[in-house]
Amino acid sequence: MQDEIVNSLARQLQVEVARIEGNRPATDPDVHALITKAWAEIFQSGRRGRDALEQARKLLLTAREQDPENMHVQLGIGAYHVNMAIQLYSSDGADHLAKGEGLLRSVIERQPTIPAAHHFMGMSHVARNQLSQAKAAFERAVELNPSHAPSYAQLGRVLVRLGFPKQGLEHVLYALRLSPRDPGLAIWTAFAGFAELELERFDKALAHFERALSLYPGQPRTVLCVVATHALLGDMHEARRRLEQLQRTLPHLTREVLVNRFGKGRPDSQYRKGLQLVLSPPPEGLAVVEN
């Protein structure tokens, strides 16, 4: 309990410092100020999505012009690219992943003890469905920084996808206890719903997803989870309505893209079964998106 309290305070301090520094006006910002403001935006992407990421990118590119070899600039740009891919904001996720991974590998080679570098590399592995590598990356991040709540949450998501929803849910709930007002709260709440979905507790899952969407309306992966849950509950009308609503917002997420881009996953996954009801044509039973 003492460790949890200390870790929780450490994470809250990290988030608050980033928020304060990010809001501080600067008439002539130096590289450090630009990086700090950029990371504040990356933190806020869990609430504000693509707009926050694009603002972070602009700040980081300005910082790179002043200091091209700055490791924290490279880390931030790598984080931007990985988030663009994994959160489904771009029609060219593969290009974002390739750019992000190249930058993150460079950072890890230069300084292998930065937790955030392993964290975002883990997210890239998740996007590629390389779950064993993702698990190892998130475990390394929390080994380096036991207060790194985002890595506990992501590790929980990976455990659910590996077929261990109870253990995964425990990790997600631990992250929520460590940082109950974290900018990533909407994403982590959706992870809790994902675990409940795989445990076939559909009503609890839907409650988590709707809570997550109240914090971050329209988050693509959360909406897809809602679509799957409504399908499993037998409400195909609502499932299709929510999917069409998402596709109007992000037109690049066509049925074909969802089927072809995210086809790998466990055949016994409830999430996959739910989306298959909505996306897969009857004859071939094409594969569907995996969270």
For residue 151, the enclosing domain spans 2-180
Q: Does residue 129 lie within any of the structural domains?
A: yes
The mean of the pLDDT values for the chain is 86
User: pLDDT over 90 for what percent of the chain?
Assistant: 64
CA-only gyration radius of the chain, Å: 19
72 conformational bin, left if phi > 0, alpha if psi -120 to 50, beta if neither? alpha
Tens of pLDDT along 119-172? 999 999 999 999 999 999 999 999 999 889 999 999 999 999 999 999 999 999
Query: What pLDDT is attached to residue 212?
Result: 96
Q: Does residue 131 lie within any of the structural domains?
A: yes
What is the C-alpha separation between 289 and 71, in angstroms, rounded? 34
Q: Does residue 84 lie within any of the structural domains?
A: yes
Six token digits for residue 274: 């739910």
134 and 103 in contact (C-beta within 8 Å)? no
Q: Does residue 222 lie within any of the structural domains?
A: no
Six token digits for residue 57: 């990118």
Task: Using alpha carbons, select from 143, 132, 103 the residue that is nearest to residue 120.
Answer: 103
Tens of pLDDT along 69-122? 899 999 999 999 999 999 888 888 899 999 999 999 999 999 999 999 999 999
Neighbours of 108 (CB within 10 A): 18
> Is the pLDDT assigned to residue 190 strictly greater than 50?
yes
User: What is the DSSP track for 134-192?
Assistant: HHHHHHHHHHH-TT-HHHHHHHHHHHHHTT-HHHHHHHHHHHHHH-TT-TTHHHHHHHH
126 and 135 in contact (C-beta within 8 Å)? no
Domain count, the chain: 1
What is the C-alpha separation between 206 and 28, in angstroms, rounded? 47
Q: Does residue 83 lie within any of the structural domains?
A: yes
Q: Does residue 248 lie within any of the structural domains?
A: no
Q: Does residue 204 lie within any of the structural domains?
A: no
CATH number of the CATH domain containing 169: 1.25.40.10
Q: Does residue 50 lie within any of the structural domains?
A: yes
Report which DSSP code applies to 125.
H
What is the C-alpha separation between 171 and 9, in angstroms, rounded? 18
